A and B are shown apart, each in its own frame.
Chain A
Amino acid sequence: MALLEVHDLDVEYLVGDSIVRAVRNVFFTLDEGKNLGIVGESGCGKTTVAKAIMRLLPRNGRVAGGRVVFEGRDILRLEDAQMRSLRWEKLSTIPQSAMNTLDPVYRVGDQLCESILTHRRIPRSKAWKRSVELAELVGLEGKRLANYPHQLSGGMKQRFAIAMALSLDPSLIIADEPTTALDVITQDRILAKIKELQEGLRFAMIYISHDIGVIAEVCDAMMVMYAGRIVEYGITRELFADTYHPYTLGLKNAFPSIQADRRLISIPGFPPSLVGIADEGCMFRPRCPFAIEGCGTRVPPMAEVRPGHWVACLRTDDVGLLREAAQEQATWLESAVI
């Protein structure tokens, strides 16, 4: 049985008087100890998916449909109290900016203890001992627990956030851009640390990032989201080697690599705002050089192009042609820049 199954997840926000459908028909499965990467640009819904799974949507947001089955239970149907005990115990999170999640007026060790004591009936001294273990686990000296957040560097704070996420031995960690605010060297070290911890502790991860380089290295499977929907989802290696969706092709073109010498090609236009947008057809259509008539009239259905590789595009049959054309800069100039 999969650790986490998400079926047809829909999430809406109430913005002013209108409803913004931020996430539509998102589905995936995640097995124990595996990593799923979610890539996409700002506003594509990747963070909303994470928050919906954690049941931490802001007040104006709600899950409008779908199921989130975690260890066999639909967590969207749990009582708040049940959910609270599940959160952190089984299902924890590493936030984007640890600088903002650590309380500046408490020592970091106390904060770590706090998260343990809230869920475990153990003496404080034991909780502190566990905190020291956790700090060492993420590569920090135990004496750092006596520091206040401002005495630590960004990388150290991020490690504490990881230690906190690990404190109750969860089976799933959702990391939302956990290394985006960090330097390459610190990022690299944190990624290596996470990998190492994962081998020992066997937790699964959902890894949210706009950096396909990071996803390519860390995740077994990946999902590309655009304007609230999945456009492509599959095994990372397969998805990179045999890309189907024009948006994914465009992202690969646009991303500089330290290794390759090629002119970067950007996708014309910019990601749409979901506020007050008409809900018909493929959302990528206005920026897509391969759009055909049908793209404007109906949302492309998810097609399984081979086992486990899902694509939402009407032109999957022409993929050979698309891949070749996508490498030409001229292809991406033709569609109008708004």
Chain B
Amino acid sequence: MVGELLHENPESQMMHDGEHDRALLCVDDLKKHYPVARGARAALRSAERKYVKAVDGVGFSIMSGDILGLAGESGSGKSTLGELLVRLQKPTAGRVLVDGTDIAKLKGPALKRFRANMQMIFQDPYATLNPRFTVERTLMEPLTIHKVDDMRGRVERARVALEMAELRPADKYLPAYPHQLSGGQRQRVAIARAIILQPKFIVADEPVSMLDVSVRSGVLNLLADIRHQLGLTLLFISHDLSTIRYLCNKTAVLYLGRIVEIGRTDRVLGDPIHPYTKALLAAVPIPDPSVARTRLDIPGEIPDPIDLPPGCRFWPRCREQMQICREQEPDLRVVEDGRMTACHRV
């Protein structure tokens, strides 16, 4: 039945396909540390400054055309990593290379071109649209900033973007204000805004978690479709593994600022190796009362990324810890074709 369904819609089918040969984006030992505020007394004693290590040594590539899902608990550094990739934040150390260019070095027109190519979709569709702007103005703004086309051409582009975001007929939505739209429609406007400059790469940070269930899947399918049609590459940040499994062909699992497992979604979520990935997966409720789930609780809670334990950052909660885990931080190693894991057990 399932197979039949997919075959009926080959156009819109998800592409869990093979490898693309070109890396669009390479991340090399990326770090983002935030200084922790200290009191006056501590400052006078010149006590050692402490840092929140939100992203702490992350390296991976995103192949052109991929949808990479970034999973992890809150506080694992997902959003910070997403913002680093589009240069909304400057890294403390490490590099982000897009098409081989270090984005930290971009200036002037090159930076502007980069900005046009890298877009974001945020979580809260009620907060990301200017309530005083009509949809038309919201969509025209990026075109004006980047001096794309003349006035008439811009309206036409806005229309096309709305149609692509499945807000049809576009003319009905152009004069609307955000308060006249539902949450799902607003998120579609945000998507139209993100694609209007025909970017190469979009970071979508929890784009469906605030939407109602019945419209959520529509937005997910839309993201899959525009990726297909526009040849986009996507980073999809979510704490919801079911959604990642549905949408993304690659998955990375983040724990306390480091990647613990990354690779093809069917491998990482179908047959997890890292104890943390296993625990995350086991905690997902199954919407079917006839299926019994085995719980796999891990003790403790995700600690503050300020005073991290030595060795593997997961060991205090790990069910499979060994002596070496307390002493040495495991590196991300290739465990099979298309998958890397950072665990001494491997």
Interface 9-residue window, one of B51-59, B111-119, B138-146, B277-285 = B277-285
A183 contacts B289, CB within 8 Å?
no
Q: Is residue A223 contacting chain B, with contact meaning CB distance below 8 A?
A: no
B213 contacts A217, CB within 8 Å?
no
Partner of A266, one of B5, B14, B217, B243: B217
* Shortest Cβ distance from B297 into A: residue: A189
B293 contacts A217, CB within 8 Å?
yes
B289 contacts A263, CB within 8 Å?
no
Q: Is residue B323 contacting chain A, with contact meaning CB distance below 8 A?
A: no
Interface 9-residue window, one of A57-65, A82-90, A113-121, A252-260 = A252-260
Q: What residues of chain B lie closer than 8 Å to A156, measured between beta carbons?
A: 301
B286 contacts A261, CB within 8 Å?
no
The smallest beta-carbon distance between A168 and chain B, in angstroms, is: 28
Q: How far is the CA of A192 from the CA of B182 in the complex (A)?
A: 35
Q: How far is the CA of A323 from the CA of B264 in the complex (A)?
A: 34
Q: Is residue B215 contacting chain A, with contact meaning CB distance below 8 A?
A: yes
Partner of B5, one of A241, A287, A329: A329
B287 contacts A255, CB within 8 Å?
yes
Q: Is residue B241 contacting chain A, with contact meaning CB distance below 8 A?
A: yes
B212 contacts A216, CB within 8 Å?
no
Q: Is residue A155 contacting chain B, with contact meaning CB distance below 8 A?
A: yes
Partner of A271, one of B214, B241, B298: B214
- Given known pairs A258-B269, A327-B5, the reply for A213 and B285 (CB within 8 Å) is yes
B239 contacts A213, CB within 8 Å?
no
Q: Is residue B29 contacting chain A, with contact meaning CB distance below 8 A?
A: no
Q: How far is the CA of A42 from the CA of B126 in the complex (A)?
A: 14
The smallest beta-carbon distance between A97 and chain B, in angstroms, is: 14
- How many chain-A residues does the 8 Å CB contact rule pick out? 53
A255 contacts B281, CB within 8 Å?
no
Q: How far is the CA of A158 from the CA of B220 in the complex (A)?
A: 30
Instruction: Indicate the member of A212, A241, A266 with the most B CB atoms within 10 Å.
Output: A266
Q: Is residue B295 contacting chain A, with contact meaning CB distance below 8 A?
A: yes
Q: Is residue B218 contacting chain A, with contact meaning CB distance below 8 A?
A: yes
Residues 260-278 of chain A: 1 if any B CB is under 8 Å from the residue's CB, otherwise 0? 1111111110110000000
A41 contacts B286, CB within 8 Å?
no
Q: Is residue B106 contacting chain A, with contact meaning CB distance below 8 A?
A: no
The smallest beta-carbon distance between A338 and chain B, in angstroms, is: 9
- How many chain-B residues does the 8 Å CB contact rule pick out? 54
Residues 189-225 of chain B: 1 if any A CB is under 8 Å from the residue's CB, otherwise 0? 0000000000000000000000011111111110000
B245 contacts A256, CB within 8 Å?
yes
A192 contacts B245, CB within 8 Å?
no
The smallest beta-carbon distance between B169 and chain A, in angstroms, is: 11
Q: Is residue B21 contacting chain A, with contact meaning CB distance below 8 A?
A: no
B221 contacts A264, CB within 8 Å?
yes
- Given known pairs A254-B213, A256-B246, A271-B212, the reply for A216 and B5 (CB within 8 Å) is no
Residues 217-259 of chain A: 1 if any B CB is under 8 Å from the residue's CB, otherwise 0? 1000000000000000000110011000000001111111111
B246 contacts A42, CB within 8 Å?
no
Partner of B286, one of A210, A237, A257, A270: A257
Q: Is residue B9 contacting chain A, with contact meaning CB distance below 8 A?
A: yes
Q: Is residue B28 contacting chain A, with contact meaning CB distance below 8 A?
A: no
A186 contacts B217, CB within 8 Å?
no
Q: How far is the CA of A256 from the CA of B246 in the complex (A)?
A: 7
Q: What residues of chain B lie closer than 8 Å to A270, measured between beta carbons?
A: 182-185, 212, 214-215
Q: Is residue B101 contacting chain A, with contact meaning CB distance below 8 A?
A: no
Instruction: Name B's A-contacting residues (CB within 8 A).
Output: 1-2, 5-6, 8-9, 12-14, 73-74, 166, 168, 182-185, 212-221, 239-243, 245-246, 269, 279-291, 293, 295, 297-298, 301-302
Q: A185-B280, A258-B241 are in contact. List 5 more A-B contacts (CB 8 A).
A: A184-B280, A256-B245, A259-B286, A267-B214, A270-B212
Instruction: Name A's B-contacting residues (CB within 8 A).
Output: 41-42, 153-156, 183-189, 191-192, 210-214, 216-217, 236-237, 240-241, 250-268, 270-271, 287, 327-330, 337
